[in-house]
Chains A and B, each alone.
Chain A
Amino acid sequence: DAKTTQPTSMDCAEGRAANLPCNHSTISGNEYVYWYRQIHSQGPQYIIHGLKNNETNEMASLIITEDRKSSTLILPHATLRDTAVYYCIVRPRNSGYALNFGKGTSLLVTP
């Protein structure tokens, strides 16, 4: 799986958009970008994934650059409950098993 690089930590004011970047410059053509998050003392939670088109669901939007070497997860209106560690993972869609989490970005949403 391709390596990803994320900032260690970020802050965001409640109600504002949180934009979490991820670099994956070695991504290959069959690899998807996945995002998970982990709220303190809970298991990781799937957020969204995409290949090359931008994706949106009820939780977030995923913007992938045209060259696919980086992406941004957007939480449009961050709440205090969005405080968590966010993991960007690159892997083939059908690779099946291990998720390589890395250290992720610790997002703190402040009042």
Chain B
Amino acid sequence: DTGVSQNPRHKITKRGQNVTFRCDPISEHNRLYWYRQTLGQGPEFLTYFQNEAQLEKSRLLSDRFSAERPKGSFSTLEIQRTEQGDSAMYLCASSLLENRGIYEQYFGPGTRLTVT
């Protein structure tokens, strides 16, 4: 399968713990995006990378959130000191930036986080 993969698919953690999610984009894609989706809402943008550079962060990305893409391939999203409000589906997407323009985003299945 050459699509976007995310691990783990589900994570249950206690409030105050740190969690880390991983996203593996489609191999030739140079842009990688993170979104968060709460129940009944559409996905909301968190941040994106072009290769290894983090180019944009949403105001939703508080100081407890950090994302990395160290070699321009896979990415990790870490949440420190989790709160119950962090419970959501975390979605990763990738796309290919070429001179002709930026192509459509392809999404992974998401990581569902539950903070108890």
**Contacts from A to B (Cβ < 8 Å):** 34, 38, 41-46, 49, 85, 87, 93-104
Q: Across the interface, do A46 and B105 meet the contact criterion of CB distance under 8 Å?
A: yes
- In the assembled complex, how far is the CB of residue A5 from the closest CB belonging to chain B, in whole angstroms? 14
- In the assembled complex, how far is the CB of residue B42 from the closest CB belonging to chain A, in whole angstroms? 3
Q: Given A44, A85, A87, A96, which contacts B91 in the complex, CB threshold below 8 Å?
A: A44
List 18 interface pairs A-B (beta carbons < 8 Å), by A numbering. Answer: A34-B104, A41-B109, A42-B109, A43-B91, A43-B93, A43-B107, A43-B109, A43-B110, A49-B104, A85-B42, A93-B101, A96-B97, A97-B56, A99-B35, A100-B45, A101-B42, A103-B41, A103-B42
When C-beta atoms are compared, the residue in chain B nearest to A99 turns out to be: B105
Q: Which residues of B contact A104 (CB under 8 A)?
A: 42
> When each residue 16-33 of chain B gets 1 if its CB lies under 8 Å from chain A and 0 otherwise, what string results?
000000000000000101
Q: Give the B interface residue count (CB, 8 A).
A: 26
* B4 within 8 A of partner (CB): yes
Q: Which residues of B contact A103 (CB under 8 A)?
A: 40-42
- In the assembled complex, how far is the CB of residue A68 from the closest CB belonging to chain B, in whole angstroms? 19
Q: Across the interface, do A98 and B45 meet the contact criterion of CB distance under 8 Å?
A: yes
- In the assembled complex, how far is the CB of residue B45 from the closest CB belonging to chain A, in whole angstroms? 4
Q: Across the interface, do A46 and B106 meet the contact criterion of CB distance under 8 Å?
A: yes
> When each residue 31-73 of chain B gets 1 if its CB lies under 8 Å from chain A and 0 otherwise, what string results?
1010100001111110010000001101000000000000000
